Amino acid sequence: MTDRLEYRDGQFVSQRVSQVVAAIKEYAPDVEVLWIPMNQRTDGEAAFKLVHHPDGREPYTIFHVKTEEEFDARVLKRLMMGDQRNGAVTISEIEASEAAASRVAHQRFVDEMEEANEMAAAVLRSNKETYKISDDLIIHQSKPRTRKLRRKYLK
């Protein structure tokens, strides 16, 4: 599994951040996560900005996240705690924490399954008898053996 993923202009963000961004997109499709690369930030400027794009209205910033290290399930929790799409906020902090952690864990699981599917497809496409994924995982494809069977016929 790769630790860093390319983001838009060739810069890289961690896979953990990508998973949280995907969980946010799943929870609130109208919220966009903007990332400001280090070389484009001024001192003290936040690394991430969450922007809400409501239908028929001007987009607005919900909140900022200072660093990549702070961008984890707590960001989704904060978004859930402030969600007022259905009127007053009725979700508790514990429920929001559990829901955020669950969504991020689900996204991590989806990423792992996609990676496993890609690995399996690569192995199946390969003509090799032995396929090394890592030092811990080596796959041996068994080829059918043809043996000439001797048949004795009774006369």
pLDDT tens-digit map of 10-65:
566 778 888 888 888 888 889 999 888 778 888 888 889 899 998 889 999 888 89
Q: Give me the mean pLDDT over the 68-87 stretch.
A: 80
Assigned domain for 148 exists: no
Assigned domain for 31 exists: yes
Assigned domain for 77 exists: yes
pTM as predicted = 0.57
Q: ∠126-128-133 over CA atoms, to 5°?
A: 75
Assigned domain for 63 exists: yes
3-class secondary structure, 61: strand
Tokens of 144: 């059918």
Cα separation, 110 vs 78, in Å, equals: 23
Assigned domain for 72 exists: yes
- Sign of the Cα torsion 93, 97, 98, 99 reads positive
Question: C-alpha distances in angstroms, 82 versus 21, 78, 85, 141?
Answer: 17, 6, 9, 53
Phi, psi of 129 (to 5 degrees): -80, -35
Question: Domain total for the chain?
Answer: 1
Q: Which domain holds residue 103?
A: 4-140
Query: pLDDT tens digit string along 10-21?
Result: 566 778 888 888
